[in-house]
């Protein structure tokens, strides 16, 4: 077992690398994966980078410890120095850097850069949060499948300079190497075509080596790097950071991988996630049990954001895992079914109760409002991986939100399609009281094979104001005390890496 004492002993045994010698052995600037910041609070933020001169082959650093210097300035020209320091990296964390920059003032902008010997990183911009801000600009992103498309949406996001990017998961996809060009896929009995524009770098990811190289592949994308450099991010993983549709300790296909294999795989995936994300703490690993703190509370001016983790503590999907859905069955009525686990649910209710914010946000991986794929009054056919499969817990949350919580908004990803839905006190009954809104971003690049099924079912879902699975993009939210504007940005040409983006639709809570 890797205890703290063992870790210190292991670290002490590693030689301290000379930056000069490392740089002399390569022609590559080691900051190949860009920079990032995250977990913005009123008085702190995390700064991230990683030394990786050979990013797709394990990183390419010699064995040892390395000192990375950082500089934080008040201006983008990097002349007004605010703070300087250094961080010791090592092989144990893939030479990743996680600096906790604390003691800051709320609502301030900072610029930061890393140095290793003479090599310098890109310059990043970050910002502390403040409940006093009169307004907030939040970008919602999810589902950046590398093979399915380019990341032009991230370039558009960077140009907007949000206060924060909320990424609700599917930052990487674990699948193997596809085939370039047009490919067909059988969806609901119909053959549909999808383009693969670039390729993954290994078979399905299972080991720490695989996951590290997969994160590195994604993070070499210049548009993803630009979006990280433009603003702090808050992140929580969905399923593809480990394995499609995993839940707690249960993989998608328990007949294909044993529980032991899945646990080992999860440790590797959580560790690689930490190594590549601007988050503070590494996963807790005890024997074969691993967990990573992902849910958390953030305040952006008028919006209190509860970032949820709906994978690590979830019960297995009831009634099947069909696409786009399965018919409701008795197993859905089990009150112990949970997306979040009891502790996170209690934390959420407590945080909501204490909130004085004009808007109260749940950032959830999957869609919160219902979406049925068949006509009433039949039992609904819904996607069991989303909140529809966990209706008893959803109702508890709706009841809590309905109990005097100001302007609930749920932000969701996962379903590769954009939507704006009203959340009602009885979620399938649009005549019951409206208690909030669910704004769902489409995918940055992932395909949506069920776009046709969504369109065909729209009339069965009268609480839905907008739905479109045909386009790639993200949501810009502009929030002031009285109104939330969700601007759905979509990529004009998904197979063009330099594509422009434009606004598909704008939804305002005051009009809905
Ligand atoms: Fe996805």
- pLDDT at residue 6 is higher than 70: no
Report d(CA 144, CA 173) in Å as an integer: 8
Query: If you measure from the C-alpha of residue 172 to the centroid of ligand 1, how many angstroms do you get, rounded to a whole number?
Result: 9
DSSP 128: -
CB 45 within 8 A of CB 232: yes
Q: How far apart are CA 207 and CA 178, in angstroms?
A: 19
Strand pairing partners for 363?
A: 307, 411
Render 210-261 in DSSP notation, one character per residue. Answer: HHHHHHHHHHT-HHHHHHHHHS-EEE---STTTSTT-BTTB-S-TTTS-HHH
What pLDDT is attached to residue 254?
Answer: 85
pLDDT tens, position by position, 428-439 = 999 999 999 999
CA of 357 to the centre of ligand 1 (A): 30
Centre of ligand 1 to C-alpha 436, Å, is 24
Q: From ligand 1's centre to the CA of 400, what distance in Å?
A: 28
Q: Is the pLDDT of residue 10 over 70?
A: no
Task: Render pLDDT for 53-108 as a digit per residue (tens, 0 to 9).
Answer: 999 999 999 999 999 999 999 999 999 999 999 999 999 999 999 999 999 999 99
Asked if pLDDT for residue 418 goes beyond 80, the answer is: yes
pLDDT for 2: 47
Residue 192 binned pLDDT confidence (cut-offs 50, 70, 90): confident
List pLDDT tens digits, range 197-223: 999 999 999 999 999 999 999 999 999
Q: Which two tokens stand for residue 81?
A: 């120095």
pLDDT digits 0-9 by tens, 483-512: 999 999 999 999 999 999 999 999 999 888
Q: How confident is the model at residue 195 (pLDDT cuts 50, 70, 90)?
A: very high
The answer for residues whose C-beta is within 8 angstroms of residue 377's C-beta and 6 or more apart is: none
DSSP of 499-512? --EEEEEEEEGGG-
Q: How far apart are CA 41 and CA 104, in angstroms?
A: 9
What pLDDT score was predicted for residue 196? 97
Non-local CB neighbours of 130 within 8 Å, separated by 6+ positions:
42, 106, 107, 299, 301
Residue 499's region, left for phi above 0, alpha for psi from -120 to 50, else beta, is: beta
Residue 134 half-sphere exposure toward CB, CA atoms < 13 A: 0
pLDDT of residue 458 exceeding 90: yes
CB count in 10 Å sphere of residue 27: 7
* Mean per-residue pLDDT, 28-55: 98
Distance, CA of 342 to CA of 350 (rounded, Å): 12
Residue 5 has pLDDT above 80, yes or no: no
Tell how far the Cα of 365 is from the centroid of ligand 1, in angstroms. 9
Task: Map out the domains of the chain with their CATH numbers.
Answer: 4-126 (2.60.40.380), 131-511 (3.60.21.70)
Q: How many angstroms separate the alpha carbon of residue 385 from the centre of ligand 1?
A: 12
pLDDT tens digits, one per residue of 269-313: 999 999 999 999 999 999 999 999 999 999 999 999 999 999 999
Distances (CA, A) of 8 to 5, 65, 90: 5, 12, 11
Q: What's the mean pLDDT in 155-172?
A: 98
Alpha helices in 301-412 (DSSP H): 342-354, 391-402
Q: Are strands 136-141 and 164-167 parallel, antiparallel or unpaired?
A: parallel
pLDDT band at 1 (very low <50, low <70, confident <90, very high): very low
What is the chain's length? 512
* pLDDT, mean of residues 145-159: 98
Q: Following CA atoms 421, 418, 142, 369 in sequence, which dihedral angle do they give, to the nearest 10 degrees?
A: 20
CA of 142 to the centre of ligand 1 (A): 7
Residue 493 Cα to ligand 1 middle (Å): 20
State how far the Cα of 439 lies from the Cα of 420, in Å rounded to an integer. Answer: 5
Query: What is the three-state SS of 387-454?
Result: HHHHHHHHHHHHHHHHCCCCCEEEEECCCCCEEEEEEECCCCCCCCCEEEEEEECCCCCCCCCCHHHH
Q: In whole angstroms, what is the distance from residue 78 CA to residue 230 CA?
A: 15
- Tell me the CA–centroid distance for residue 283 and ligand 1, in Å: 23
Q: How far apart are CA 347 and CA 497, in angstroms?
A: 41
Return the structure tokens found at 424.
């009602």
Which of 187-201, 217-231, 357-371 shows the lowest per-residue confidence on average (mean pLDDT)?
A: 187-201
* Model confidence band, residue 253 (pLDDT cutoffs 50, 70, 90): confident
Nearby residues of 356 by Cβ (< 8 Å), 6 or more positions away: none
Rounded distance from Cα 469 to ligand 1 centre (Å) = 12
Report d(CA 40, CA 30) in Å as an integer.
26
* Alpha carbon separation from 19 to 12, 66, 94, 432 (Å, rounded): 18, 7, 16, 65
Identify the pLDDT of residue 11: 66
pLDDT band, residue 251 (cuts 50/70/90) = confident
Mean pLDDT of the chain: 95
Encode pLDDT of 223-243 as tens digits: 999 999 999 999 999 999 999
């Amino acid at each position: 077992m890797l205890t703290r004492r063992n870790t210190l002993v292991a670290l002490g045994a590693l030689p301290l690398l000379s930056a000069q010698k490392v740089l002399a052995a390569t022609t590559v600037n080691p900051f190949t994966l860009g920079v990032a910041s995250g977990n913005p609070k009123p008085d702190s933020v995390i700064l991230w980078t990683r030394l990786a001169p050979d990013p797709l082959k394990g990183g390419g650093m010699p064995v040892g410890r390395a000192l990375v210097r950082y500089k934080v300035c008040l201006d983008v020209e990097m002349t007004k120095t605010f703070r300087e320091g250094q961080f010791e990296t090592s092989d144990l964390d893939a030479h990743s850097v996680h600096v906790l920059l604390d003691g800051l003032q709320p609502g301030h902008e900072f610029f930061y850069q890393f140095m290793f010997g003479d090599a310098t990183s890109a310059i990043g911009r970050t910002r502390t949060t403040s409940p006093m801000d009169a307004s907030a600009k939040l970008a919602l992103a999810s589902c950046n499948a590398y093979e399915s498309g380019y990341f032009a949406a991230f370039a558009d996001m960077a140009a907007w300079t949000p206060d924060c990017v909320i990424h609700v998961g599917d930052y990487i996809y674990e699948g193997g190497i596809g085939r370039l060009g047009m490919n067909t896929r059988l969806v609901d009995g119909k053959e549909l075509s999808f383009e693969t524009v670039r390729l993954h770098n290994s078979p399905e990811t299972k080991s720490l080596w695989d996951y590290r190289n997969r994160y590195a592949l994604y993070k070499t994308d210049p548009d993803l790097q630009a979006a990280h450099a433009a603003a702090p991010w808050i992140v929580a993983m969905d399923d593809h950071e480990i394995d499609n549709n995993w839940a707690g300790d249960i993989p998608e296909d328990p007949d294909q991988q044993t529980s032991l294999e899945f646990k080992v795989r999860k440790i590797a995936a959580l560790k690689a996630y930490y190594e590549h994300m601007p988050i503070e703490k590494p996963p807790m690993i005890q024997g074969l049990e691993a967990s990573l703190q992902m849910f958390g509370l953030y305040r952006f001016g008028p919006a209190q954001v509860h970032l949820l983790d709906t994978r690590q503590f979830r019960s297995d999907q009831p009634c099947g895992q069909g696409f786009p859905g399965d018919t409701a069955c008795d197993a859905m009525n089990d009150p112990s079914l949970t997306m979040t686990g009891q502790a996170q649910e209690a934390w959420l209710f407590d945080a909501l109760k204490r909130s004085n914010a004009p808007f109260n946000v749940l950032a959830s991986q999957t869609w919160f409002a219902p979406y049925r794929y068949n006509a009433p009054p039949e039992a609904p056919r819904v996607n069991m991986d989303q909140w529809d499969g966990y209706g008893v817990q959803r109702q508890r949350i709706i009841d809590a939100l309905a109990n005097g919580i100001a302007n609930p908004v749920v932000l969701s990803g996962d379903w590769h399609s954009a939507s704006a839905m009203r959340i009602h006190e009885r979620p399938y009954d649009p005549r019951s009281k409206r208690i909030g809104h669910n704004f769902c971003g489409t995918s940055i690049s992932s395909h949506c094979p069920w776009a046709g099924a969504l369109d065909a079912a729209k009339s069965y879902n009268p609480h839905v104001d907008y739905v479109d699975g045909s386009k790639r993009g993200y949501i810009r939210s502009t929030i002031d005390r009285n109104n939330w504007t969700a601007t759905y940005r979509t990529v004009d040409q998904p197979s063009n890496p330099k594509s422009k983006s434009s606004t598909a639709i704008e939804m305002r809570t005051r009009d809905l």
